[in-house]
Structure 1
Amino acid sequence: MQDCRILITRPEPENTLTCERVRAHGWTAVSLPMLDIAPLENADQLAQIRSQVFDIDTFDYVIFVSKNAARIACKWLDACWPMLPIGVHWIGIGEGTTNTLREEGVPALSNPGHTTEALLDWLKPAKMTNQKILIVRGQGGRPELGLKLEERGAKVSYLSLYERKKPRYHAQTFFMLPDINLIWVTSGESLSNLSEYVTLHTPEWKTLPILTPSIRVNQQAIEMGWINASCAQGADDNSLIKATEFHTGKQND
């Protein structure tokens, strides 16, 4: 597996950046995004977002659930806040999200783990009582984080900035792809979309090694019939690269 061909399923624009890092490691990157990210853009939605961003200084914690949430939110912060408000704790879930915020000048912290569950372990329950928390996400995101924080006495609000859509591919798309050695998925929704297409067009891919970002998504992959799923312990490039190096090392032994 010296020429490891990796299917990259991130949404754009992150997919292109990840493909560049994969190629820099001497592997072949095969791009096939399994999510499309579309910023909300009708007038009512934009007015609601603007109002919430102007009120962001009223929150004790602002939690960003993904790189897309961080990237789009930073554009709104630039437009509404020439200087960031003081006294807000900015938190990114995972290394990639946190780094995206820091690159845009937001002094974000990150929990030691890479998942919602790890963040909940990190946030001290006693300190959440009556804390105002804003969760920045896409429409219809996982409810677990907000529900658990509310159980700890926090007052949770949501800022939805984008919607996730399933990309449209045809059988010809899969027919034209090169042979794949390894697959990266970075979210449960991407995995679900990929599994639907694979079942239709390339069911043999279910035997390929697939790297997932968390134990939850890894279990989801197993339940969907992927027989060689492994957890990379993170959705960021560094975690996936490390897991790939481990995997290819095993293959070459």
Structure 2
Amino acid sequence: MKTVLLTRSEEQNRFFNSGLAESDVSVLSKPLLQFSAYPFTEEVKKKVIDLDRFDHIVFVSQNAVRYGLPHLQDYWPQWPEGLMWYAVGPATALRLGDWNISAIVPETASSEGLLALKELTAPEKVLIVRGVGGRELLRESLISRGAEVDYLEVYQRILVPYQEKFDLDADSEIIVTIYSGEAMKRCAELIDNLECCTLVVPSMRLQTMAFEIGFDKVCLAASQRDEAMLETILQVISGVNFPG
């Protein structure tokens, strides 16, 4: 029997549990990362208060909206006039929509997709809302275009402290969902037989990284949206999608 290993939080896994209910697979939930609010320091507060200094504000994840918007709303009951809002992908845009904010969304949900937007070709002052750490590509590329860029870091990632490696059936095909490089590295630490695993990832960057780490079978979903990831999982289960 095939096993699907879901590596995000229980809340985020609900869609997949429902979508896989009628498939002949075993489903395991093993969150790799936990998220918590970053302390609201005076430095963070100053950036929130100075929101009207920026021309563009970019949210790079759903968690950026979840942890960032409450702070911004506390100090800005009315948003600065002329501020342009961006979401890295459709799911993040939906989160912003919950706050009645209409965001510009790239065709590809990634830093590269954001950088391809014409609105960010020659930006002036940009505020990137994100978690602590992460890729520097967006910031560095915008700076190279002449932009003034600052971070508003509103949450932090914490590795879930598993005491032992995952006890997985070596004779079973393990299908693993991975959404970030940090989660992938943690996954590789917790699984003994990487050759038993087929990863499902939402970007070519993660696919390349998986091969470099030592995974042999990696399938690329059309995007990181739940529907796209589930479609790829079901294709792997049925044998339609052959990992490479």
TM-score where L is the length of structure 1: 0.84
CA contact (8 A) 1:136 1:160 kept: yes
TM-score where L is the length of structure 2: 0.87
Match of 2:71 among 76, 98, 114: 76
CA contact (8 A) 1:114 1:234 kept: yes
Which residue in the other structure is 1:219 paired with? 208
Alpha-carbon offset, residue 176 of structure 1: 8.2
Match of 1:107 among 85, 102, 110: 102
Which amino acid counterpart does residue 217 of structure 1 have in structure 2? L
Alpha-carbon offset, residue 23 of structure 1: 2.0
- Are positions 1:85 and 2:80 aligned together? yes
**Structure 1 residues 22, 117: CA separation in 2 closer, same or farther (over 3 Å shift)?**
same
SS in 2 for 1:109: coil
CA contact (8 A) 1:209 1:230 kept: yes
Percentage of identical aligned residues: 28
Instruction: Say which is worse superposed, 115-124 or 136-145, in terms of deviation.
Output: 115-124
Query: Where is the helix percentage greater, Structure 1 or Structure 2?
Result: 1
Q: Which runs of 5+ in 2 are unaligned?
A: none
Whole-angstrom CA distance in 2 between matches of 1:234 and 1:51? 35
Match of 1:137 among 130, 133, 136: 130
**Structure 1 residues 223, 126: CA separation in 2 closer, same or farther (over 3 Å shift)?**
closer
4+ runs deviating over 6 angstroms: none
SS in 2 for 1:209: strand
Which residue in the other structure is 2:224 paired with? 235
Which residue in the other structure is 1:17 paired with? 11
Match of 1:210 among 181, 199, 220: 199
SS in 1 for 2:94: helix
Instruction: Say which is worse superposed, 182-191 or 46-55, in terms of deviation.
Output: 46-55
Q: Deviations over 1:73-114 (max 9, x none)?
A: 111122222232331111111222222111232222211111
Aligned positions, number: 237
Whole-angstrom CA distance in 2 between matches of 1:148 and 1:252? 34
Whole-angstrom CA distance in 1 between matches of 2:173 and 2:28? 8
Which residue in the other structure is 2:5 paired with? 7
CA contact (8 A) 1:187 1:235 kept: no
